[in-house]
């Protein structure tokens, strides 16, 4: 079994509803696309880069369905080079868990399991999915509006505050 990489400070990062609008779909000919007019995939990556810049020790674990649906490498390549350097893994590991079981866990459960596996000193998650989070994890969740993601000023402020508490 591969060794799980860890870090003292981890950000669990979702994509849809966080780094771009939540209206993401897949079509066999078109591939992955965003259905919201005027929006583009990963349009809010520069915001995350700016927020994380003063905190070089924060690592990223991908908590997005893109890892399960496409692959870890594919999902990681969607990020900017600076964010890619921070990525140490994903909540889904095809060699360590069955996909069928993983998909039935709520996002909060997926992240909670990964926190137990990696054992970070501190962590938080940015996600638009707030359902099914264990009570001990809820204070570590920054919930985004699925249409605004991290472009919302109040979400950016919440991220800044969380990073300062690290």
pLDDT at residue 31 in the model:
87
Tell me: pLDDT of 3 over 60: no
Average pLDDT, stretch 104-117?
Answer: 88
Average pLDDT, stretch 127-146?
Answer: 95
Full-model pTM = 0.92
The residues pairing with 10 across neighbouring beta strands, listed in sequence order, are 59, 123
In a domain, 2, yes or no: no
The residue segments making up the domain with residue 126 are 9-165
Give the rounded percent of residues in the chain with a pLDDT score beyond 90: 77
In a domain, 105, yes or no: yes
- We report the CATH number of the domain holding residue 50 as 3.40.50
What is the rounded distance in angstroms from the CA atom of residue 56 to the CA atom of residue 79? 16
- SS3 for 76-138 is HHCCCHHHHHHEEEECCCCCCCCHHHHHHCCHHHHHHHHHHHHCCCEEEEEECCCCCCCHHHH
What is the rounded distance in angstroms from the CA atom of residue 53 to the CA atom of residue 140? 20
In a domain, 1, yes or no: no
What is the rounded distance in angstroms from the CA atom of residue 94 to the CA atom of residue 72? 9
Nearest to 141 by CA among 101, 112, 105, 103: 112
pLDDT at residue 97 in the model:
64
pLDDT at residue 1 in the model:
39
pLDDT tens for 11-34 read: 999 999 999 999 999 888 988 999
Count of structural domains within the chain: 1
* CA separation, residue 30 to residues 19, 42, 59, 87 (Å): 20, 17, 32, 27
In a domain, 96, yes or no: yes
By the 8 A CB rule, do 63 and 12 touch? Answer: yes
43-57, 126-140, 145-159: range with lowest mean pLDDT: 126-140
pLDDT band at 46 (very low <50, low <70, confident <90, very high): very high
Residue 151 is given by DSSP the state: G
How many alpha carbons fall within 13 Å on the CB side of residue 51? Answer: 23
Q: Which residue has the higher pLDDT, 100 or 116?
A: 116
């Amino acid at each position: 079994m591969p060794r799980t990489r860890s870090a003292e400070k981890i950000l669990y990062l979702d994509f849809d509803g966080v780094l771009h609008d939540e209206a993401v779909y897949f079509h066999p000919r078109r591939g992955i696309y965003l259905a919201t007019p005027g929006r583009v995939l990963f349009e809010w990556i520069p915001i995350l880069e700016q927020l994380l810049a003063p905190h070089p020790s924060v690592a990223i674990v991908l908590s997005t369905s893109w890892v399960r649906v496409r692959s870890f490498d594919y999902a990681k390549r969607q990020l900017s080079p600076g964010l890619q350097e921070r990525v140490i893994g994903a909540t889904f590991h095809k060699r360590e868990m069955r996909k069928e079981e993983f998909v039935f866990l709520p996002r909060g459960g997926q992240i909670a399991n990964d926190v137990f596996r990696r054992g970070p000193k501190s962590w938080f998650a940015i996600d638009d999915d707030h359902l099914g989070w264990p009570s001990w994890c809820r204070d570590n969740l920054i919930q985004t509006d699925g249409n605004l993601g991290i472009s919302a000023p109040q979400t950016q402020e919440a991220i800044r505050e969380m990073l300062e508490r690290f």
